[in-house]
Amino acid sequence: MKLKLSIVSTLGAALALLAANPAARATTLTIDAGHPGAAINPAMWGIFFEDINFGADGGLYAEMVKNRSFEFPDPLMGWIKISPSLARGELAVRGEDPLTPANPHYLRVHSEGSAPFGISNPGFRRMGVSQDESYNFSIEVRPVAGAPVLEAQLVAADGSVLDSARLEGFAAGWKRYTLVLHPKESDWGARLNVLMTTKGTVDLDMVSLFPEHTWKNRPGGLRADMAQMLADLKPGFLRFPGGCIVEGSILDRRYQWKKTIGPVGDRSLLINRWNYEFVHRPTPDYFQSFGLGFFEFFQLCEDIGAQPLPILNCGMACQFNSGELCPLDQLEPYIQDALDLIEFANGPETSVWGAKRAAMGHPQPFQMKMMGVGNEQWGPQYIERYVRFAAALKAKHPEIMLVSDAGPSPDDERFQFLWPKLRELHADIVDEHCYANPPWFFNNTHRYDNYDPNGPKVFMGEYAAQSVDVVSPKNRNTLECALAEAAYMTGLERNAAVVRMASYAPLFGNAEAWQWTPNLIWVDNHRIYGTPDYYAQQLFSRNRGDVVLPVSSDDPASTSFFASAVRDNQTKDIILKVVNASSQAAPAALHLNGIPPGAQKAQATILTSDNTADENSFDQPRKVAPVTVSIGEVGGGFDYTFRPNSLTVLRIGPGRE
């Protein structure tokens, strides 16, 4: 039976456009529900995380004090001396008998007590404090002389004190002291002062301020709004820690997971490679505290139901930088790090590394199932190292799927060299990266149609449409970019037998401290918004389905109409995803073959806007966001008109309103 839709009023605009464009020809789309294809990996749509654009420090890691441990090469970077005219005092960064060897510097403050004297920290591009929040202040103090009294103050941009509290009666030796501050007003340009109000001398370290309400209310945890945005994606996996940050510009600056676990004070600071990578976007105050380290990564994965996908350095520094290589006969510590990470994640409490996980509060294993060897490497040097990693890892842990990589481009000579080699090696899954302009994505929706289903699988591990050019600081997160990615994702979904995972990159951008654009989610010190790209990712992820359904069109060569379909085995819904990249409405006759007889209920979720250049912003966070409308009852065939410049997800099933 063929039913005509009763189009709800929100779709009136589409009909009006259709009337204005009588030439628009209806596309016939046939979905063959009777012949399901490949099973879709439950972890198909995931998240790429990297500490770029202040993604971790100054971002997801909720610490509000920058350079809290005086370990930046300029140890007072980020700190301002507070010394009113009557004050008499001295600041000195020292290293004798530090708090921990991993954290070798601290600040000695001496005051004559004539007026409050000390230091002020404006955080990562100013502190955003809310009157509805409480802030946990902590500090390591070692009294040296006198009877020191310290005052912690939250100060507004206009200099007024929002709240303050005192610490005194310090015991001998290093000891951590805490207090809670409750700002009387919200202020998005605040800072933290730590002042000595009496005559005396103290040593200070690990000066820290966190909101009380972090993600899951964990003390010293993650920013709740940012973690929630990740959870809202319902991601299949979380890739961590990157990205080029895995590699380091030189090997000595590579990401080493073992240095990111245990007490935060024992995690050594490292310069962030994005501190100096782009001369046009220098960020001299960008360092990695590793407060968000590998334990927190596994914990976040567990929280949001994502499979952990750690990516490890394979003995190669970034080939866009030094390209430094660990000699093959010295690779063993790198491989051992990978083996030990598996034990840290999955080993019993009685194992060396499993015990460290348990000591951090997680005796149960994290159930890690995959691991990446290298990020964006290329050449025979990569293959030589991958082979050694794969031999050792597969011998001991055949259960772990290994992600190898195909370099930084989806089709250049580096890619052409690596793929055949990885195929010969029977690699499990190959990480492809693609940053290109929107036309590339629209033109490559059939990229995977002819990949060998018996060869290595594909992980589309980094991709994003670039509105201007790759790494151009002018790139914007426009609707056009989101539609280009969504069109491409229909191709990934149709080829789910080959493409097993995909993730947009990068993830976060701090609007006041970014190095790279576009990004999936933008934040400042108190706000957050998802881009149109975020909502496209979310529509695919939350409508993943379990099995691919064949879709055929009577206009397969269309350059503006892209479709894929899946079935959700639990709800029995058929889920059709369509991108109409034309500025005209696209009428379609939909045929659902092989569905049970009788009426089905349908709903449409539509991502569109008036203009393909439209973006979201802090002021208009949902200018381009999905809207769901009920379509009512349909049968085995019905007509539907897709909005101009839209991504539409149609869910058709027995129980849907």
Q: How many Cβ atoms sit within 10 Å of the Cβ of residue 25?
A: 10
* Residue 506, preceding peptide bond in cis (omega within 30° of 0): yes
Of 243 and 491, nearer to ligand AHR (C-beta) is 243
Q: Check: CB of residue 185 under 8 Å from CB of residue 152.
A: no
Over the Cα atoms of the chain, what is R_g?
27
Pairing of β 370-373 and β 401-405: parallel
Among 77, 124, 69, smallest CA distance to 508 is for 124
Question: Residue 242 CB, nearest distance to ligand AHR (Å)?
Answer: 5
Q: Which of 71, 140, 343, 376 is catalytic?
A: 376
Spatial separation of the C-alpha atoms in residues 40 and 497, rounded to whole Å: 7
CB of 318 vs ligand AHR, minimal distance in Å = 9
In the chain, the amino acid numbered 579 is V
Q: Give the shortest CB-275-to-ligand AHR separation in angstroms.
A: 14
Q: Which residues contact 549 (CB under 8 A, 6 or more apart)?
A: 31, 32, 33, 35, 36, 37, 565, 566, 567, 574
242: left (phi over 0), alpha (psi -120 to 50) or beta: left
Residue 83 or 319 having the CB closest to ligand AHR: 319
Closest separation between CB of residue 76 and ligand AHR, Å? Answer: 30
Q: Which is nearer to ligand AHR, 294 or 516 (CB)?
A: 516
Q: Toward ligand AHR, which CB reaches closer, 505 or 551? A: 505
Cα separations in angstroms, 155 against 121, 283, 335: 10, 25, 49
E strand residue ranges, 290-394: 307-312, 370-373
Nearer to ligand AHR, 272 or 648 (CB): 272
- 14's enclosing H/E stretch is helix 12-20
The residues that touch ligand AHR, with contacts defined as CB under 6 A, are: 50, 52, 242-244, 375-376, 408, 433, 462, 505-506, 516
Question: How many C-beta atoms surround the C-beta of residue 84 within 10 A?
Answer: 10
Residue 574, token pair as written in the block: 């058929």
Active site residue 424: no
CB of 375 to ligand AHR, least distance (A): 5
CA distance 491 to 485: 10
Smaller CB separation from ligand AHR, 106 or 516: 516
Nearest to ligand AHR of 50, 71 (CB atom): 50
**Two structure tokens written together for 23:** 């030439």
User: Cβ-closest residue to ligand AHR?
Assistant: 243
CB of 239 to ligand AHR, least distance (A): 10
- Indicate the burial class of 9 (C-beta count within 10 angstroms; 0-12, 13-18, 19 or more): exposed
Q: Is 481 left (phi over 0), alpha (psi -120 to 50) or beta?
A: alpha
Residue 192 or 311 with smaller CB distance to ligand AHR: 311
Cα dihedral value 563, 569, 572, 574, nearest 10: 0
* Smallest separation (angstroms) from ligand AHR to the CB of 462: 5
Q: Least separation, in Å, of the C-beta of 62 and ligand AHR?
A: 23
Strand locations in 43-113, DSSP E? Answer: 45-48, 80-82, 89-94, 106-111
Report the catalytic residues: 376
